[in-house]
Amino acid sequence: MAAPIIRFRVDFSTAHSVGPGKIELLEHIRETGSLSQAGREIGMSYRRAWLLLDSLNASFREPVVSTSIGGKAGGGATLTDFGQELVDAYRQIEKEFNAAAAKRFAAIGAAIVSKIKAPKPAITHTPLVRSAAPRRVKPKARGRASKRP
């Protein structure tokens, strides 16, 4: 049985939070030195990556990433010491949550796995009638048929 995985978000207030997407973006910025490259590597548009980064930098007194505009030097993005501290704190609590989840849910997870049944083979039925559409049937005339003049 695979251990359960906890995914969580830390809300500092209703408008300021950090979750798995923002942390992953910060880690890729640290590795690539580029916001656009980090976004590409995790399948995120540049606009979405920029909005997440902007919300992170606006959420704290200190910036989590410092950026430089392109040009001859090429520009780029660098994780600040505070940004690295944020990533480390998030990943540490994630490890602790996952270890606790593995311990607490081991028996429950084993019960779930043991309840899974193999799927039944697909059986194809051929219809006995030509069409499943309802037939239009004319009502039978009752009594004597009317005479036409």
Comparison of pLDDT for 72 and 23, the residue scoring more: 23
**What are the structural domains, with CATH classification, of the chain?**
10-65+73-115 (1.10.10.10)
Residue 44, pLDDT score? 95
pTM, rounded to two decimals: 0.69
Residue 15, pLDDT score? 87
Residue 106, pLDDT score? 79
What percentage of residues in the chain have a pLDDT greater than 90?
53
Q: Which H, E and C letters describe 33-101, residue by residue?
A: CCHHHHHHHCCCCHHHHHHHHHHHHHHCCCCCEEEECCCCCCCEEEECHHHHHHHHHHHHHHHHHHHHH
pLDDT digits (tens, 9 = 90+) for 97-147: 999 988 888 777 766 655 556 666 666 555 555 555 556 666 666 666 555
